[in-house]
Structure 1
Amino acid sequence: MENLQRNIASYYRSKDPIRNLKIRVTLKKVTAASVVPTFAHENKKPSDQIEMQTIKKEDEKTENKAEECVIGWQEKLYCKRETDYYADSENCNSVLDHLYHKEVLSVRNSRTNKRLFSYVDHDNFADDENNDDDETIYVTPVAKRISNLRRRRLANKSMGDRADKDGNKVALQFKNPISDDSSRTLSKLIVPEQSMFIMADLSNDDREPTKEDEYVLCSVTINSNGLISIKPDFNTSNSSYRIVTKSEYQEVYEYRLEHCSKPMSKVEEDREKKALKELYQRHGAYQASLIGTEFATPPPSGTLRVNIFGEINMAKNFEYNDIYIHYCLYLTTEWKTRDSDVIAGFTQISKCKGDKEKTAHFGHPFEFEITYEKANFNQVGVSEWPQLFIEVVSCDSWQRYRIEGYGYTLIPQAPGMHKIEIQTWRPVAPDLVSEMRRFFIGGAPELNDITYVSHPAGSDGPCLSKYGLKTASSGSVTVKMNVLQQSQFFVDKTKSRKKVGTLLDKLGGEETQAALAKVIDAFQKARNRLKAARGELDGIY
Structure 2
Amino acid sequence: MFSSQNTFKTGVYRANGSVANWKFRITLKKIYSLIEIPRFDSSIDEEPLEEPSNSEEEHLDIAWQEKVFSKSEIDYYSARDNCHTELQNAYYHKIKSSRLTEQKSRGKIFTYTAADNFALDEELCATIGNKTVHLDDEKLNMETMFVMADLDTEELLFSLAWNSTENVLFVYPDFNCMKINPYYKEIQGDSRQMYHFGIKNLSFKKWITCSQETVEIRDVFASKITRFNIRDKLSKDNFEYPENHQVQFLILLEIISGTGFSYSDIFIRYRLDIPSAAKMIAGFVDGSTHSTKQCKGRWLYGHCHEITLQLPENHKTSDDCVRIYFDIISTDSWKRELL
Shorter-chain TM-score tier: 0.3 to 0.5
TM-score under structure 1 normalisation?
Answer: 0.31
Greater Rg, structure 1 or structure 2? 1
More helix per residue: 1 or 2?
A: 1
More strand per residue: 1 or 2?
A: 2
TM-score under structure 2 normalisation?
Answer: 0.48
